[in-house]
A = this chain, B = another copy of it.
Amino acid sequence: MRDALVAAAFQLFLERGYEQTTVDDIVKTAGVGRRSFFRYFPSKEDVVFPDHEQALAQMQAFLAASADADDPLVRVCEATRQVMRMYADNPTFSVQRYRLTREVNGLRTYELSVVWRYEKTLGDYLRTRFADRRDGTLRANVVAAAVVAAHNHVLRSWLRSGGKGDPLAEVDRALQFVRETWDPAGSGAETPADRADEDVVVVITRRNTPMWRVVREMESTLGEG
């Protein structure tokens, strides 16, 4: 019934436009009563985003099930990947909805509020995980925003292309960029701050520096010069 209402709604939105379609039109096309519609969707706007409530609940459950040993950055990236999978599983529907949200101003702001709820969910989780860090709350909010921005960067470009290519591979690459920004240790490199804490030596040099000069620099850093 729920799926039939969504299908009927999108059929009409595409045929005559979102604004020109009423809830009465939708229930008539779906062959159900008005009350059935409102049992599933509080408003006409909600039928455009039938999957986000479940995806948000899934994200919250996934993050709540995290162990203390889990890398929080890896966790939020995995949680965000699941949202992309929801879009990727239904390319036709995703692209149709995208075109609709471009045309109808009210749907775009609705979408912004959905995006904000994902960001808040990720931020809430990161805040508890970063609670003992200096600037933990700030860091949690900034990282959550960065993760969402990376996801939306890939999502928008995939939707704009009409659903071509592999958005999951792309989002992995974009999330990797975010992970490397804050957790380069996980990707084989390290941040200056990380390195300062460990017994590791870093040499940064221009490519055309003569080797003897590099060695001298390293020896003096190592205290062997």
Chain B proximity of A15: nearest CB distance (Å): 28
CB of A206 within 8 Å of the partner chain: yes
A residues 120-159 with Cβ under 8 Å of B?
A: 135, 137-139, 141-142, 144-146, 148-150, 152-153
**Contacting residues, chain B, for A211 (C-beta < 8 A):** 215, 218-219, 222, 224
* Cα–Cα distance between A150 and B218 once the two chains are bound (Å): 34
Which of B142, B153, B190, B199 is A178 in contact with, Cβ under 8 Å?
B142
Binding site of A, secondary structure by majority: helix, strand, loop or mixed? helix
Chain B proximity of A150: nearest CB distance (Å): 6
A207 near B203 with CB under 8 A, answer: no
In the complex, identify which listed stretch (A18-26, A31-39, A48-56, A110-118) lies at the interface while the others stay far away. Answer: A110-118
Which of B152, B204, B205, B209 is A141 in contact with, Cβ under 8 Å?
B152
A138 near B150 with CB under 8 A, answer: yes
* Cα–Cα distance between A199 and B214 once the two chains are bound (Å): 15
Number of interface residues of A (CB under 8 A): 51
* Cα–Cα distance between A49 and B6 once the two chains are bound (Å): 35
**In the complex with contacts A113-B112, A149-B144, A150-B138, A202-B202 CB distance below 8 A:** yes
CB of A177 within 8 Å of the partner chain: yes
CB of A189 within 8 Å of the partner chain: yes
- Nearest residue, chain B, Cβ from A150: B142
**Contacting residues, chain B, for A222 (C-beta < 8 A):** 207, 211
* Cα–Cα distance between A154 and B177 once the two chains are bound (Å): 25
- Nearest residue, chain B, Cβ from A137: B153
Chain B proximity of A183: nearest CB distance (Å): 11
**Contacting residues, chain B, for A150 (C-beta < 8 A):** 138, 141-142
A203 near B206 with CB under 8 A, answer: no
Q: Which of A110, A153, A202, A206 has the most CB of B within 10 A?
A: A153
**Contacting residues, chain B, for A174 (C-beta < 8 A):** 138
**Contacting residues, chain B, for A135 (C-beta < 8 A):** 177
Q: A67-111 vs B: 1/0 string, CB under 8 Å?
A: 000000000000000000000000000000000000000001110
